[in-house]
Amino acid sequence: MRMDRLLELLGETEVFSSLENAELVQLARSMEFREFAPGKVLVQQHEMGEEFFILVEGSAQVVMQSELLRTERHVLTLQAGQSFGETSLLTREPRTATVKALEKTVCAVLNRENFQNLFEQVPSVSRTMARYLAQRLTAQCRLDGPAFVSLNQFPYQPELFRMVPLELLKRCRGVPVQLNGRLLTIAMVQPDNFSLIRLLQEELVGFRLQCAACSADDYLSYMAQHETASGRTVSFVESHDPLPSVVRLLTNLPSGTLVLDPGAETQKVYLQKGGRLSPLLPSPSDQFLRQLESTLTSFFLTHQAVENVVRSIRVDGQSYLLQVSRFEHRSGFRYSLRLSETRIQPLKHFFPAGEMRAAVREVLASPHSFLLIDGSQRNVAEAVHKSILGELVEDLGAQGVLYLGDLLESQQVPCTLAVHDPKLAPYLETAFHQGITVAAHQGIGRKQWKELIRFQGQLPSVLAVWKEGPLIPALDYLIKEVAAGDSLLYGFHLLTHKMVRQACPYCRQPYKPSEKVGAELGCRGLDNEDALYFRSGGCEHCLQSGHLGSLPLFSLSRVEVLVEGGSVRRTVWSYAAHLRGLLKSGRVDPEEALRVVPMR
Q: How confident is the model at residue 27 (pLDDT cuts 50, 70, 90)?
A: confident
CATH of 2-143, one of 2.60.120.10, 3.40.50.1970, 3.40.50.11820, 3.40.50.300: 2.60.120.10
- Please, how many CA atoms are within 13 Å of residue 256, restricted to the half-sphere of its CB? 25
| Higher pLDDT among residues 342 and 329, named by residue | 329
pLDDT at 413: 46
pLDDT at 101: 93
Query: In whole angstroms, how far apart are CA 571 and each of 139, 316, 356, 506, 533?
Result: 55, 37, 12, 35, 26
- State mean pLDDT over 4-33: 82
Rounded distance, CA 221 to CA 215, Å? 10
Give residue limits of the domains in the chain: 2-143, 151-230, 242-339, 345-469
| Higher pLDDT among residues 343 and 148, named by residue | 148
pLDDT at 521: 86
- State yes or no: pLDDT of 322 exceeds 70: yes
Rounded distance, CA 361 to CA 358, Å? 5
Per-residue pLDDT of 556-567, as tens digits, reads 999 877 766 567
Per-residue pLDDT of 415-433, as tens digits, reads 444 444 456 666 676 676 6
Query: In whole angstroms, how far apart are CA 412 and each of 195, 251, 320, 448, 555?
Result: 20, 17, 10, 22, 25
Specify the pTM: 0.48
- State mean pLDDT over 241-267: 80
Per-residue pLDDT of 44-74, as tens digits, reads 887 878 888 989 899 998 887 654 344 566 7
Question: By CB neighbour count within 10 A (0-12 exposed, 13-18 middle, 19+ buried), where does 48 fall?
Answer: exposed
Q: What string of DSSP letters covers 418-479?
A: EE--S--HHHHHHHHHTT--EEEEEEE-HHHHHHHHHTTTSS-EEEEEE-SS-SHHHHHHHH
pLDDT at 254: 55
Q: Lowest mean pLDDT: which of 9-18, 40-49, 284-293, 516-525?
A: 9-18
The radius of gyration of the chain from alpha carbons, rounded to an integer in Å, stands at 30
- State mean pLDDT over 443-451: 77
pLDDT at 344: 64
- State mean pLDDT over 334-347: 72
- State mean pLDDT over 348-354: 81
pLDDT at 411: 42
In CATH, the architecture of 151-230 is 2-Layer Sandwich (3.30)
Most confident option among 10-14, 228-232, 551-555 = 551-555
Mean pLDDT of all residues belonging to the chain: 76
Per-residue pLDDT of 153-195, as tens digits, reads 787 777 688 778 777 888 888 999 888 766 788 999 888 777 7
- State mean pLDDT over 570-593: 83
| Higher pLDDT among residues 274 and 239, named by residue | 239
Residues in a beta bridge with 178: 185
pLDDT at 142: 43
Rounded distance, CA 33 to CA 55, Å? 10
Q: How confident is the model at residue 104 (pLDDT cuts 50, 70, 90)?
A: very high
pLDDT at 307: 63
- State yes or no: pLDDT of 204 exceeds 50: yes
| DSSP structure class, residue 526 | -
C-beta of residue 342 within 8 angstroms of C-beta of residue 330: no
- State yes or no: pLDDT of 143 exceeds 60: no
Q: Lowest mean pLDDT: which of 128-137, 304-313, 540-549?
A: 540-549
C-beta of residue 188 within 8 angstroms of C-beta of residue 260: no
- State yes or no: pLDDT of 231 exceeds 70: no
Superfamily of domain 345-469, CATH level 4: P-loop containing nucleotide triphosphate hydrolases (3.40.50.300)
32-36, strands of its sheet edge to edge: 32-36, 105-111, 51-57, 83-84
pLDDT at 87: 72
pLDDT at 495: 92
Residue (of 249, 254, 247, 251) closest to 235 by Cα position: 249
pLDDT at 129: 72
C-beta of residue 302 within 8 angstroms of C-beta of residue 214: no
- State yes or no: pLDDT of 531 exceeds 60: yes
- State mean pLDDT over 299-304: 61
Q: How confident is the model at residue 119 (pLDDT cuts 50, 70, 90)?
A: confident
Per-residue pLDDT of 452-494, as tens digits, reads 766 666 677 888 888 887 787 777 777 776 655 544 556 789 9
- State yes or no: pLDDT of 448 exceeds 90: no
pLDDT at 34: 92
Q: Lowest mean pLDDT: which of 187-201, 261-275, 354-368, 521-535?
A: 261-275
- State mean pLDDT over 240-252: 83
Rounded distance, CA 348 to CA 473, Å? 29
Q: Lowest mean pLDDT: which of 67-76, 100-109, 376-385?
A: 67-76
pLDDT at 100: 92
In CATH terms, is domain 242-339 a member of 3.30.70.980?
no
Q: How confident is the model at residue 91 (pLDDT cuts 50, 70, 90)?
A: low
- State mean pLDDT over 498-505: 78
pLDDT at 506: 66
